[in-house]
């Protein structure tokens, strides 16, 4: 077959999809100008799709996905008319393979997210959108108000946790004043396993930027949770790393792992602009979700070792 007639791969994308039964899957879709021969196999922590009679007509190399199950997808031209797509996963996952469409032809690999669902099933998580009512929180240079934007992020995060099987309690449902004691009491009364408060950083110097995570000094697991969340948040938002640090005010929560996520610095001109984007709200929630998921996965592994 001449090079002019060989199908070309033109795009690769991934998304989390829900089936009719409400089950979630991660799907990788490879779009091409025609059908090609494929072989799919598992190799270590990767799923490899090997294609023959096809060429790449898009940039080669890795694309970061970080959807909680798929870490990245890489495309390589393995020969003149052979390609390899490597799907790197963070957790074990069964998968299916299929081909649909005419132009573009869509070759898909669909991975079960049941490992993640098992992590969250039966968990009670309190999400605390900071401030509210007359307490505006921080204010950006163009008057974006913290109390409003953290609520939007909280609602995105609530949806992700609930899709994964967790029970979610919001400390406020609307623009209302709630005292710090009431917020923490909600977690204690509900016997929550995790408390996540969402805020932004503020600084008199509008050149200061970045994300940070504060953690309860009264829970030994809070620092680990904070580290996981900060790492995943930065993967999603590509911000300056302002680190993790203790917050003594969460003492009332006792042994409940508790963190305060300063998603961005709202007083920074650029980062206030980011906060106006629904895409950024979604990415921030995804980063927090992935961090909590990694914390829970680490706890499961630790329990397995102890057993």
Using pLDDT thresholds of 50, 70 and 90, give the confidence band for residue 306.
very low
Which of 293, 295, 127, 285 has its CA nearest to residue 224? 295
Please compute the mean of the pLDDT values over residues 228-253 and round it to a whole number. 95
Structure confidence at residue 242 as a pLDDT band (50, 70, 90): very high
Q: What is the pLDDT of residue 302?
A: 45
Query: Which of 38, 32, 27 is CA-nearest to residue 95?
Result: 27
Query: Which domains does the chain carry?
Result: 3-112 (2.60.40.3500), 117-306 (3.40.630.40)
Beta strands across the sheet bearing 8-18: 55-56, 8-18, 24-32, 105-112, 95-100
Span 126-140, pLDDT tens digits: 999 999 999 999 999
Distance CA 182, CA 153 (A): 21
DSSP assignment string, 119-179: HHTT-EEEEEE--BTTB---B-TT--BHHHHHHHHHHHHHHHHHHTT-EEEES-SSS----
Strands (E), the chain: 8-18, 24-32, 37-43, 46-52, 55-56, 61-64, 70-79, 82-89, 95-100, 105-112, 124-129, 167-170, 194-201, 211-216, 241-247, 258-265
**pLDDT at residue 4 in the model:** 63
Answer yes or no: is pLDDT of 303 > 60.
no
Report whether 10 contacts 104 (CB < 8 A).
Answer: yes
- Token digits of residue 14: 């991934």
Position 307 confidence tier, pLDDT thresholds 50, 70, 90: very low
pLDDT of residue 101: 82
pLDDT at 248: 87
Question: Hunting for tokens 């680990």 — which residue is that?
Answer: 224
Instruction: Give per-residue pLDDT as tens, 68-108.
Output: 999 999 999 998 899 999 999 999 999 999 999 888 999 99
In this prediction, residue 22 has a pLDDT band, given cuts at 50, 70 and 90, of confident
């Amino acid at each position: 077959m001449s090079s002019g007639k060989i199908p070309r791969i033109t795009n690769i994308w991934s998304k989390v999809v829900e089936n009719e039964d409400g089950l979630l899957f991660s799907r990788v879709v490879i779009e091409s100008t025609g059908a090609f021969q494929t072989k799919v196999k598992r190799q270590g922590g990767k799923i490899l799709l090997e294609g023959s009679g096809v060429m790449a007509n898009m940039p080669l190399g890795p694309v970061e996905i970080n959807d909680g199950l798929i870490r990245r997808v890489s495309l390589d031209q393995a020969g003149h008319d052979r390609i390899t797509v490597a799907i790197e996963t963070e957790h074990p996952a069964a998968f299916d393979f299929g081909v649909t469409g005419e132009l573009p032809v869509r070759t898909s690999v669909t991975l079960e997210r049941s490992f993640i669902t098992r992590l969250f099933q039966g968990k009670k998580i309190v999400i605390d959108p900071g401030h509210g009512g007359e307490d505006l929180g921080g204010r950006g240079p163009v008057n974006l108000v913290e109390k409003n934007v953290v609520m939007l992020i909280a609602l995105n995060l609530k949806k992700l946790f609930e899709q994964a099987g967790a029970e979610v309690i919001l400390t406020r449902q609307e623009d209302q004043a709630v005292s710090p004691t009431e917020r923490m009491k909600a977690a204690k009364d509900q016997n929550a396993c995790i408390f996540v408060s969402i805020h932004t950083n503020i600084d008199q110097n509008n050149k200061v930027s970045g994300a940070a995570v504060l953690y309860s000094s009264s829970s030994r697991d809070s620092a680990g949770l904070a580290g996981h969340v900060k790492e995943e948040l930065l993967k999603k938002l590509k911000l300056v790393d302002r680190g993790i640090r203790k917050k003594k005010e969460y003492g009332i929560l006792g042994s409940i792992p508790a963190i305060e996520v300063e998603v961005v610095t709202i007083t920074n001109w650029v980062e206030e602009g980011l906060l106006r984007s629904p895409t950024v709200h979604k990415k921030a929630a995804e980063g927090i979700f992935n961090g909590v998921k990694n914390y829970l996965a680490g706890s499961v592994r630790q329990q397995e070792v102890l057993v």
